[in-house]
Structure formats: C-alpha cells, structure tokens
Amino acid sequence: MKTVLITGSTSGIGRATAKLFSKKGYFVFVNGRDEKRGGEVAGEIGGKFIRADVTDPKQVDRLFSQIESLDVLVNNTGGIVGNDSLEKASEEDLILGFRHNFFGAFYCTQKAAGIIKKGSIVNVASICGFGVYPAGPRGLPIYSASKAAILNFTQTSAKLLAPKIRVNAVVPGYVKTGPTGLYMTLLVKAKLNPQTLVGRINSVEETASAIYFAATNEAMTGSQIVVDGGILVK
C-alpha cells in the first residue's frame, strides 16, 4: 500500500487532501499539533496521526522516525501569521512568517529525501508568491516572500532530487476554509468571489484534487499548478 504524509492535515486543505488520498487507496500519515482534530481525521480515514510542529527540526526528526516508508510528502502547513506589514513588522514577525511557511517544508523535504525511494513531493504555495495580492494595496509582504521561497525551493529541490523524487507546487488563490459565519459569507460574496473569473472562490476539495494530480502525474516535476478560479488572469 502506498503511503503519504500530509503536514497540517488536521483541518482545511490538508484535511481534504488526506481524505482524497485515502479514497485513492493510500495509507495516510496525518500531521498537525492538535491531538483532538488529528485523531478525528485519522480515525475517519483509517490513517495514523503523528503530532509534530514541523517548524521544529527535533519534532520533524521524531515525526519521520515513526514512518518506515513513504511515497508522497505534501508540505501543506502555512498561512498568514504575525504582523505582516511593511511599516510595522519586526524581526520576530519576519522569522515567524518564514518559519511557518518555509522552514517546515524545508525540514520535511530533507527527511523525506532520505526515505522516499521513488515518489514525489508537493508544496502548497499561494498566488501571493508571484508578487500579487489581490485583496488590497497593503499586501502581505512576509507571507508573499515566504511563498515565493517555496516556489523557488520547488524548482531547486526538483533538480536536486531527480530522477528519484519529483517535486511540484500547487498554487491556490482563495480557498474556502476556516470561519463560515455570516460575516465570512458576506465577505466572500462581496469581496472575494468578484475577484475570480469563475465567480466564486475555490473549495478545499478542488485544491486537494490538484495536489493529488501533481503528486501522481509522472511527467511533472519542478512545475506549478495554479488553482485560483482565474484571479491571476482577471
């Protein structure tokens, strides 16, 4: 049975990706820091939850010590953290942003390179990594730069790990995750949906399906799949 490790799969895109890989017959190593949500996802799909903060190299060592063989790694953890403002960000904010969005993917790739015999790695980036931030003029300079780093790392690690391991990136626009209350619904309808060509932001399942495609298409390496509902073109 093929195996996949999906970092940050206790919620959002990671969780949907865990469900999809399981449906396709993979044994899934679920990862995150929240024991309760991790146990729920693993229970639901018959996988194994391994609690680890992937920004800590010691915890990454422990995570990989529990995995004997691996076919696919999905570096999914990330998001907007700290004070992501050009005027106000401190050194701590910079380190926090890069640690959250880049360091974990780097540590996991280092370890996975040692155990994947023939397989692939998918990095979850963001269209912000292309230097565009459609939500407004203030931008997200730290998040965007850390996602640009992931896109660059996808290409360099694809070269360094070929032909044994293919490495690709999936580049989402807006994905419906997190809060679903009335405020969010109105915000999505008024501000986010109109920025796309398809008229709506993407679902976690649509993003997961691109991750699965990148992981399993044997012609692809060093590539990027943009799944943004046409934001970049609009």
Residues annotated as catalytic (active site), given as ranges? 143
Nearer to ligand NAP by Cβ, of 82 and 104: the residue is: 104
Nearer to ligand NAP by Cβ, of 79 and 162: the residue is: 79
Whole-number Å distance between alpha carbons of 149 and 126: 11
Q: How far is CA 56 from CA 39, 86, 102, in A?
A: 21, 26, 12
CB 75 to ligand NAP: min, Å: 8
Nearer to ligand NAP by Cβ, of 75 and 120: the residue is: 75
Among 206, 222, 125, 212, smallest CA distance to 165 is for 222
Q: Which helix (H) or strand (E) covers residue 117, if one does?
A: strand 116-124
Q: Which helix (H) or strand (E) covers residue 165, if one does?
A: strand 165-172
Nearer to ligand NAP by Cβ, of 14 and 119: the residue is: 14
How far from chain centre, in Å, is Cα 176? 14
Nearer to ligand NAP by Cβ, of 117 and 207: the residue is: 207
CB 128 to ligand NAP: min, Å: 7
Cβ(5)–Cβ(73) under 8 Å? yes
CB 163 to ligand NAP: min, Å: 27
Q: How far is CA 144 from CA 4, 24, 133, 147, 189, in A?
A: 27, 32, 8, 5, 24
CB 1 to ligand NAP: min, Å: 23
Helix, strand or coil, per DSSP, at residue 175: strand
Q: How far is CA 189 from CA 59, 81, 137, 139, 157, in A?
A: 40, 24, 20, 21, 38
CB 164 to ligand NAP: min, Å: 25
Whole-number Å distance between alpha carbons of 56 and 54: 5
Binding positions for ligand NAP, rule: CB under 6 A: 7-14, 31-34, 37-38, 53-55, 76-79, 104, 124, 126, 172, 174-175, 177-178
